[in-house]
Homo-oligomer: A and B are copies of this chain.
Amino acid sequence: MSRVRVHNFSISLDGFCTGEGQSLDAPFGHAGGRLHEWFFRTRTFREMHGDSGGGTSVDDAVARTWEAGIGAEIMGRNKFGPQRGPWEDHEWTGWWGANPPFHTPVFVLTHYPRPSLEMEGGTTFHFVDVTPQEALRQAREAAGDLDVRIGGGVATVREFLRLDLVDHVHLAVVPIVLGRGERLWDGLEGLEERFEIESVTTPSGVTHLTLTRR
């Protein structure tokens, strides 16, 4: 059975995965880049965006597990873009340019379906107004024997965790107190009973949490 995985999901000490005030100029609101500095410095991130360089430390090793064995992604509409409500037009094709770093089918959960969007490099966005369970069924079908990534945003990851649909989670706890934004842990009391949790701090100051379903 293919697994359902979450990767490279950064979280502040106070449990926020994004700041307040998401917009076109500020995809993570007032958090800016602070939650992802550790990630920007990795070779994995550089390569995802067609750049060279970047570190090859344990941060990079953990970040790189993002890619292998993934056959489809599910993301919430809020990860796809800053618009809310009905699509004003179909001009917006995501934050990632003509060749997004997914290279698989991506199922975007939205109450406002629109035609699928075939991008360069193997990424196709499908816009689906379905339950998480049904999105997972479709993603699994598209993924074949491979795994399904839950890509975010925060509400989407939280909902899949709450419904116990996730097998593996990688969180990176960043030592900042964000104060405002969207919390991951709400409604997930006792999550540790369902997962083995491993914590490893690296010299960047980030603590990698790996949650593996028991």
Contacts and interface: CB of A to CB of B under 8 A. Distances in A.
Interface in A192-214: 192, 197-201, 205-207, 209
Nearest to A177: B191
29 contacts: A14-B15, A14-B185, A14-B188, A15-B15, A15-B185, A173-B173, A173-B207, A175-B192, A175-B197, A175-B199, A175-B209, A176-B190, A176-B192, A177-B185, A177-B189, A177-B190, A177-B192, A179-B185, A179-B187, A179-B188, A179-B190, A180-B189, A197-B205, A199-B201, A199-B205, A199-B206, A199-B207, A200-B201, A201-B207
A188 B177 contact: yes
| Chain A interface size range | 20 to 34
A205 to B, nearest CB: 6
A109 interface: no
A14 B185 CA distance: 6
B200 A189 contact: no
A28 to B, nearest CB: 15
A13 interface: yes
A150 interface: no
Contacts of A200: 201
Nearest to A187: B179
Contact of A13 (B175, B178, B185, B186): B185
Given A177-B192, A180-B189, A190-B179, A198 B207 contact: no
A16 B180 CA distance: 16
Interface in A36-90: none
